[in-house]
Structure 1
Amino acid sequence: MNPAAAPHARVSDDDRDTSVQLLQDGFADGRLTAGELERRLERALTAQSHDDLLAVVSDLTVDMVHLAHRRGRIRREGDWQVPRQLRIESEYGKVRLDLSRALIRHSQVNIELQLTYGPATIILPAGASANCDGVRTEWGSVTCKAATYARPGKLHVHVTGELTYGRLTIRNSRSPK
């Protein structure tokens, strides 16, 4: 779900999918009961506006970080705290997200990339997986060297977004840390 979108703007399928994933994560984390999950899923799937979606997931979306940079680099590595939702916007710079030594409290992390030019690299901890089927590109490329299916007890990263001319590489850490 795009938190910067106009509240009454119509939602896209990607917005609904993101909200459904938040609800499923909330259930998996024990923050929602099965009945509550079912009711909220129905509301999320029939939502027409961003206000409608926000009402369904607002108590589950407090863990979101938005990083934007027009030029230059966006870099996170070492001992940093990874949010459940991470939105990255860069027009001309490089993006490097190294999750191999980061504090990650969630079983799934959602990363949305909006890149015009420049590469992005996401380094996962050993054994983690990633799905990048939601990444669109015009002239760039997407390479995922990590497992693409979620494994029980291991981190799963779901990457979405658009890379106009950039390239995305996702890989596991070369050495366990």
Structure 2
Amino acid sequence: MGDNQQPAPIRPQQMRVSHDEREAVVERLNTAAAEGRLDFTELEVRLELALNAKTYAELTPLTADLPQEVPAEPLVLKGGLNGAARTGRWRVPAQITVYGGLGSAKLDFTQTECRLPEIAIEAHGQTGGVTIIIPDGWVAETSEMNDGLGGFKDKTTSERLPGTPRVRLTGNGGTSGVVIRHPNSWERRVQRRSQER
């Protein structure tokens, strides 16, 4: 018998990276450039390196000098007696639970900047109902949504733009229902006006 030599263990930095891990670094670099942390030349160089990285040793240094993004706390929005809404510019967490209560609840993502690959929303229509508005280019996965008495309406399109999140919607329509849709013409006008400022 020859010597019983074991192959040398692979160090974590030598491990191969996945498409998703490369994509996450690309997103982080684009965010850093938008925040003014990287100039255009640095961004181009790092993006090229990120897209061609094969191991953690090649990928990790590309964001080592950038602050770590702290994930937002899960959000619970309750309609209560008077209703509740999350609109305008707000930080989107990966997990949201929304209750229509008696007064209704509304989640409006049209003015948010979201770099998450997926947002999990659990919606309960209850008596007031829940309305969720997502920008064009975002898609919703709604197969696990229960209609309840009030029903559930998905008025979104299935065209997803690169770099946008998938909204995974679960829950129950309750007595007043849950609606997920893209902005209507009035909301689009408001959105355009806010971007022009």
TM-score range, shorter chain: 0.5 to 0.7
What is the correspondence of 1:42-53 to structure 2 with a 5 Å cutoff? none
Give the RMSD, CA atoms, in angstroms.
Answer: 2.8
Q: Are residues 69 and 124 of structure 1, via their aligned partners in 2, closer, same or farther at CA, if it must alter by over 3 Å?
A: closer
2:133 matched residue in structure 1: 123
Contact 2:116/2:164 (CA < 8 Å) preserved in 1?
no
2:176 matched residue in structure 1: 166
1:88 aligns with 2:119: no
Give the alignment's TM-score, normalised by structure 2: 0.54
Pairing partner for 2:118 from 85, 108, 117: 108
Which one has the bigger strand percentage? 1
Larger mean CA deviation between 95-104 and 63-72 belongs to: 63-72
Contact 2:102/2:126 (CA < 8 Å) preserved in 1?
yes
SS in 2 for 1:117: coil
Q: How many residues align?
A: 124
**1:26 CA displacement:** 8.8
1:133 aligns with 2:156: no
SS in 1 for 2:143: strand
- Output the CA distance in 2 between the equivalents of 1:128 and 1:74: 23
**1:145 CA displacement:** 1.4
**1:129 CA displacement:** 0.9
- Output the CA distance in 1 between the equivalents of 2:123 and 2:21: 23
Structure 1 gaps, min length 5 = 1-24, 31-60
Q: Deviations over 1:25-82 (max 9, x none)?
A: 999747xxxxxxxxxxxxxxxxxxxxxxxxxxxxxx8741222343221201111111
**1:151 CA displacement:** 5.0
Give the alignment's TM-score, normalised by structure 1: 0.59
- Output the CA distance in 1 between the equivalents of 2:168 and 2:130: 15
Identity of aligned residues (%): 24
- Output the CA distance in 1 between the equivalents of 2:175 and 2:73: 29
- Output the CA distance in 1 between the equivalents of 2:173 and 2:110: 23
- Output the CA distance in 1 between the equivalents of 2:160 and 2:171: 20
Q: Are residues 92 and 80 of structure 1, via their aligned partners in 2, closer, same or farther at CA, if it must alter by over 3 Å?
A: same
